[in-house]
Chain A
Amino acid sequence: MSERYLAELDLALRRHRVSARRRRRFLAEAEDHFAWDPAAATAFGDPDLLAGEIASAERPRRTRLLTLVLVGSVVAFVVPLYGMPENTLPPAPAEGLPGSVAWKLDWAAAFYGAALVLAAVAFVFSLVRPRLAIVPACVAVSALVVSAALGSAAAIEWPVGGSTAVAVVVPMAAALASLALFVATRLASAAWPRRLR
């Protein structure tokens, strides 16, 4: 009885996207619970309902962690975008920098700064109002996407320090894909939490 119940509980926890760490811990605690009282499985509660509650309990911590990852990602983004500070901070801009490249770099730097601030705001929100953290997080990612697009265009037009456009754009695209995946996952879990009550 308890084995079948634990299997159902495991499936329900997976359906509710509960993290592997939390899932293992809850199953271990449930197993210990049934070791005390083998008949407790009948009074333990509906697996789907419990899994929803566990997912809900996990959400604030997960949001904190994800927003921290977002801040780290935005900070790390300075690597593929290194051409921006190099071309915009003193003694830049380099002589002969075309006007069509200069404005792109300026705006890319501005959007990058905005993304950094918004990611930090998302992290602060995750500590006080976890449900609202998704808003600045999404805007931060959008700002970063615009910054990356402008930076990529500038890198293609005006390669810096002998680097090829591909060397700049490819890691940027990979980083963007990772961030987009992060936001999509977070949005999905925030917008459609599998809570049954």
Chain B
Amino acid sequence: MPKPTQGGHVDGLILAVLADGPLHGYAVVGELRSRSNGVLSFPEGTIYPALYKLESAGAVASSWSVVDGRRRRLYRLTTRGRRRLDQARVEWDAFSSAMKAVLA
């Protein structure tokens, strides 16, 4: 069974948040926080290196857009990213099932 890593979890979380539509960095942080009811909290800046790595791997694409007169970078999921998200979900299901089986 694949072993989920901490980095892998963050990648999967970002991909899941972007699956609903393009977002900029601040909105990704906000979505992570609101969807997890504030449980998932980490230094906000760390979202950007994670996004750059995903972009480098072809899982997300980004472009500048102007919103309310401000330039901001919008990130969106690519087809490869969607596949990676599906894989992350499968891995997480297997991992959490195994944890539940042991802890229960």
Distance A153 CA – B89 CA, assembled complex (angstroms): 62
Q: Residues of A contacting B44 with CB < 8 Å? A: 33, 40, 43-45
The answer, yes or no, to whether A93 is at the interface (CB within 8 Å) is no
Q: How many residues of A contact B (CB 8 A)?
A: 25
Contact across chains for A35 and B70 when beta carbons are under 8 A apart: yes
A54 touches B49 (CB 8 A): yes
Q: Does A28 contact B (CB under 8 A)?
A: yes
Kindly provide the distance from the CB of B98 to the nearest chain A CB, expressed in whole angstroms: 28
Task: Check A54/B52 contact, CB under 8 A, given A44-B45, A45-B46.
Answer: yes
**Interface residues of B, dominant DSSP:** helix
User: Is the CB–CB distance between B52 and A50 below 8 Å?
Assistant: no
Say whether, besides A25-B73, A40-B44, A45-B43, A58 and B26 are in contact (CB < 8 Å). no
Interface of A is mostly: helix
Residues A43-76 near B (CB distance < 8 A): 43-46, 49-50, 53-54, 56-58, 60-61
Among B48, B50, B53, the most chain A Cβ lie within 10 Å of the Cβ of B48
Q: When A28-B71, A32-B26, A37-B26 are in contact, do A50 and B56 touch as well, CB less than 8 Å?
A: no
Of A28, A30, A36, A37, the residue contacting B45 (CB under 8 A) is A30
Interface size in chain B (residues, C-beta < 8 A): 17
Tell me, rounded to whole Å, the shortest Cβ–Cβ distance linking B88 to chain A.
19
User: Do A32 and B45 contact each other (CB < 8 Å), given the known contacts A54-B52, A58-B52, A60-B56?
Assistant: no
Which of chain B's residues 46-102 have a Cβ closer than 8 Å to chain A?
A: 46, 48-50, 52-53, 56, 70-73
The answer to whether B43 and A44 touch across the interface, beta carbons within 8 angstroms, is yes
A157 at the interface (CB under 8 A from B): no
| Cβ contact within 8 Å between B52 and A33 | no
A26 at interface by CB-CB < 8 Å? yes
User: Nearest CB to that of A5 among chain B residues?
Assistant: B45
14 examples of A-B residue contacts, CB within 8 angstroms: A29-B25, A30-B45, A30-B48, A32-B25, A32-B71, A43-B43, A44-B43, A44-B45, A45-B44, A50-B46, A56-B53, A57-B53, A57-B56, A58-B56
Q: Which residues of B contact A (CB under 8 A)?
A: 24-26, 43-46, 48-50, 52-53, 56, 70-73
A45-B44, A50-B45 known, 10 other contacts, Cβ within 8 Å: A22-B52, A35-B70, A45-B46, A46-B43, A50-B43, A50-B49, A56-B53, A57-B49, A57-B50, A57-B52
